[in-house]
Structures are given as C-alpha cells and as structure tokens.
Amino acid sequence: MDKHLSPGAAWALYFLIIIYVITAKYSNMTLFRMDIYYAVLLAVLPLCAAYTYYADRHKRQGLSISSFAFGMLFWIPLLNLIFGLLAVYLGRKSLIGIKKEPSKYGGKWLAVIGIILGSMVYITYLTGIGMCLFGYKEVCRNIGLDFLAR
C-alpha cells in the first residue's frame, strides 16, 4: 500500500499562500515584490494538480479532472457561468462515484477544488448583484449591469 501525503494538504498549503498574497497586497507589506508572489502561485498550482493526479494515478479520474479544468476557467466572463455549473455538476458526480467505489475512482481533491472554484463564480456574481442593488453604481458598471446603475 502506497503511503502519500494527502493531496488535501498540498491544496491547503496552496490556499494559505493565496491568503498570504492577498493580505500582503492589501496591507502594504514590502518583504518582496508582488510579482514574485504571483509567480509562486502560478508555479505551485500545477504542482498541486500533478501531485493530486499522482496520488490516485491507478484510479479513474476523468470526472474529477474535468471538474477541476472547468473550475479553472472561472476567469472567462459570462462563459464562467456555464463552466462553473459544469464544474460543480461534474465534481459532485465524481464525489458520488468515489464514495460508492473508492477502489475504482479517484481524484477527490481535484473534484473538491473544481466544486469550490465553480461555486465561487456564483457567489461572486450574487455578491456583485447585491452590491449593485444597494447603490454601488461602479460595481454595476464593472459587472456589465449598466441598466441597474441608473
């Protein structure tokens, strides 16, 4: 039986780095230039995904990888609504398969990250619409709802 560090630990470390970068950006920390932080984030992301794949390499991971890939497309405006829905659906379907047959299916953490990224799309849009409705006219213009900014 192979003993590996849980891929969840690698993803937890990645999210800690993201939190550090966000706090460093907005608290005017000048330990390093921000370009270095973004380079680290871009370098660590594929490493986390590759390690997650490696940890379950002998199992089927198609749905999990698809969920992760659709979740990673969260930055494409308007299409992210479709991709976010696909990420959540495929991730949920993958987790159900993993729960039923854990020896056959793998990629649990890829599915979880896909669900989180897909859900963030809708949370962000709902927050933006809420702010827009409460009078933040600049938010309305930025998210493409100019007709609500009047």
Supply the DSSP symbol for 60.
B
- pLDDT for 85 equals 93
Task: Read off the tokens for 39.
Answer: 């380079």
Between these two residues, 86 and 25, which has the higher pLDDT value?
A: 86
Q: What's the pLDDT at 35?
A: 63
**The pTM is what?**
0.66
Counted residue by residue, the chain has a size of: 150
- 3-state SS track over 103-116: CCECCHHHHHHHHH
Which residues have CB under 8 Å from 92's CB, separation 6+?
A: 111, 115
Long-range contacts of the stretch 138-147 (C-beta < 8 A, 24+): 144/77, 144/78
Q: How far apart are CA 70 and CA 65, in angstroms?
A: 9
Q: Domain map of the chain by residue range?
A: 7-55, 58-150
- Residues 41-87 pLDDT 10s: 667 777 777 776 676 667 777 888 888 888 888 777 778 889 899 99
CA atoms within 13 A on the CB side of 18: 9
Closest CA to 69 of 54, 91, 51: 91
